[in-house]
Amino acid sequence: MTRLTITLSDERHWALKEAALNRRKSIASLIEESLDFYGIKTRQGAEELVAKARGRAGLSEEQAIDLVAEETRLTRCP
């Protein structure tokens, strides 16, 4: 497990502590949940998500990669 130091305003720190207390969770678990909510996934989590979506769509790995490449190209170069 990696430790991380961040700088927050006193007000933001107090709000985070209060939110964790109200939810009966640690600040760390609240931050983990927030990262999940915003789509920040571990590599393994992202791979599992892609595999699940690919399975539901009935795509081969090659088809899925081609689709991702095309969608990325369209997003970056409108």
Q: Is the pLDDT of residue 38 over 70?
A: yes
CA-based end-to-end distance of the chain: 40
Statement: the pTM of the whole predicted model exceeds 0.75: no
- Residues 49 and 5: their CA atoms lie apart, in Å, by 29
Q: How confident is the model at residue 27 (pLDDT cuts 50, 70, 90)?
A: very high
Burial class (CB in 10 A: 0-12, 13-18, 19+), 3: exposed
